Amino acid sequence: METVLIHNISDYLDKEVKLRGWVRNVRSSGKLIFIIIRDGSGELQAIAFKPDLNEETFNKAKSLTLESSLEITGIPKKHPKKQDVFELAVTDIKIIQIAAEYPISKKEHGTDFLLTHRHLWLRSSKQWALMRIRHTVYYAICDFLNNNGFYRFDSPILTPNACEGTTTLFEVPYFDEGTAYLSQSGQLYLENGIMSLGRVYDFGPVFRAEKSKSRKHLTEFWMMDAEAAFVEHNESMQIQEELIRFVLRKVIKDNLADLNILERDVELLRKADAPFKVITHKQAIDLLRDKGINIGYEDDFGAEEETMLTRDLDVPLFIEKWPKSIKAFYMKRDPKDRNLVLGSDLMAPRGFGELIGGSQREDDYHLLKQRMIDEKLPMAQYQWYLDLRLYGSVPHSGFGIGLERLIGWLSGVKHIRETIPFPRMIYRIYP
Ligand code: 4AD
Ligand code: MG
């Protein structure tokens, strides 16, 4: 007899098969016991019917508790009423373990309780759906890049210097070398990689000691940084748009069932597969001022402003050409306005926040050096980065996608802590 996955059950109609998994739910009514089994690939109702079973098997079915592990044998049948739904007529049961009383029940639990039980919460349907979407998004990003000439180039996590400002650095004691820092983004190393490989990306955990309790911030999150030689600002935005639309289509195609479990409005999501909107930072400020917001031309946006700018949009929004005073030192100065940089943030529609930060990089040795001196960066730690502008400097651009932000938007969850297996936040490190 074959051992099969629930996902493939329709291939085995009316043939006896074995499944292995866990009890999602169990209820009995007289001669019938209904057992919902999940096995990682899907879920299925198994029905133990007393007249068809010996007493021992029926008693085993009766003894099952939530999350007990088992092997169950039976015959897959079409559901009598529902299309594309299958059931298993149980013929035999082998209990692997009877689970202790399971702490997560159908009743509403507070978020704190669920986060403390994250190791168990991950088994519930919505969390399962989110992890499956995460899997698709991760590989879709890699597929897009691999198909567009990017090489994977792994950047280090322990670094001697900051990439994104010094206020959110995690420090690590590092032998006789003093203090190392956990990487905030692999970008600076990727700029090195393009000089060897032309186009590169990394994809891994990055760290920010964010003192923010917002629903969009984690202290450890996953970033995909991409970098490309000879690509300038506008072309970089084009690549970003194509990449996001590619991932969007892939998730709608592969994870429709998961999006439905999450009650995501899929029609709305489909509308995002259209040309993205582009405005300048100045235009964004004008829009906000027209709406009565008190904000200056050198200000960054808070959550409230981000929501106002994207609330009514179906497609993501690029905000480009930022004042240099509020952006990172490495961004290239706009040749048309020396107070601006050729950087862009890509905002998700409807207030889901910033998905991507990107820019063309300053490729002029002297301009970059002066900017770094002005920002009082410890120059000795960055000499290698400046070197890249001495030996065959080329125009180049790159961007970083926050994986959890992207999953958060696609799946429609309110807080990105649910989009990563074990979220790390300012007030939580367990489990
Ligand atoms: O905009 P950021 O800070 O850009 C960089 O780090 C660049 N060095 C990337 C590059 O050009 N290669 O971060 C990139 C993205 C943001 O747009 C956001 O999606 C996400 O990372 N992000 C966070 N996600 C979760 N929690 C946080 N604390 C985040 N901070 C940034
Ligand atoms: Mg940013």
Among all bound ligands, the one having the nearest atom to the CA of 426 is: 1
Q: Is 163 in the pocket of ligand 1 (CB under 6 A)?
A: yes
Mutate to test the pocket of ligand 1, among 187, 330, 405 (most ligand atoms within 8 A of CB): 405
Q: Is 185 in the pocket of ligand 1 (CB under 6 A)?
A: yes
CB neighbours (10 Å) of residue 188?
23
CB neighbours (10 Å) of residue 56?
9
Q: What does the pLDDT read at residue 322?
A: 98
Mutate to test the pocket of ligand 1, among 153, 189, 221, 385 (most ligand atoms within 8 A of CB): 221
The amino acid that residue 44 corresponds to is: L
- Taking each helix axis as running N to C, give the angle between helix 233-254 and helix 403-411, from 0 to 180 degrees, rounded to the nearest 10: 50
Contacts of 400 (CB under 8 A, 6+ apart): 185, 187, 223, 224, 225, 226, 356, 357, 358
Q: Is 221 in the pocket of ligand 1 (CB under 6 A)?
A: yes
Q: What does the pLDDT read at residue 213?
A: 85
Closest listed residue to residue 340, CA positions, set 252, 280, 414, 254: 280
HSE-up (13 A, CA, CB side) for residue 102 = 23
Q: Enter the tokens of residue 190.
A: 């990727």
Q: What does the pLDDT read at residue 358?
A: 98
Instruction: State in Å: Cα 134 to ligand 1 middle.
Output: 17
Q: What does the pLDDT read at residue 87?
A: 98
How far apart, in whole angstroms, are the C-alpha atoms of residue 290 and residue 10?
Answer: 57
How far apart, in whole angstroms, are the C-alpha atoms of residue 315 and residue 347?
Answer: 9
Instruction: State in Å: Cα 388 to ligand 1 middle.
Output: 23
Q: Is 403 in the pocket of ligand 1 (CB under 6 A)?
A: no
Instruction: State in Å: Cα 316 to ligand 2 middle.
Output: 15
Q: Is 353 in the pocket of ligand 1 (CB under 6 A)?
A: no
pLDDT (tens place) for every residue of the chain, 431 residues total: 999 999 999 999 999 999 999 999 999 999 999 999 999 999 999 999 999 999 999 999 999 999 999 999 999 999 999 999 999 999 999 999 999 999 998 788 999 999 999 999 999 999 999 999 999 999 999 999 999 999 999 999 999 988 898 889 999 999 999 999 999 999 999 999 999 999 999 999 999 998 888 999 999 999 999 999 999 999 999 999 999 999 999 999 999 999 999 999 999 999 999 999 999 999 999 999 999 999 999 999 999 999 999 999 999 999 999 999 999 999 999 999 999 999 999 999 999 999 999 999 999 999 999 999 999 999 999 999 999 999 999 999 999 999 999 999 999 999 999 999 999 999 999 99
**Per residue in 313-340, is it b (16+ CB within 10 Å) or e — as a string?**
bebbbbbbbbbbeebbbbbbbbeeeeeb
Instruction: State in Å: Cα 164 to ligand 2 middle.
Output: 9
Q: Is 224 in the pocket of ligand 1 (CB under 6 A)?
A: no
- Cα 241 off chain centre by: 17
How far apart, in whole angstroms, are the C-alpha atoms of residue 149 and residue 84?
Answer: 40
Instruction: State in Å: Cα 251 to ligand 2 middle.
Output: 24
HSE-up (13 A, CA, CB side) for residue 253 = 10
Q: What is the dihedral of CA 152, 157, 159, 165, to 10 degrees?
A: 90
Among the atoms of ligand 1, which is closest to the Cα of residue 399? 11
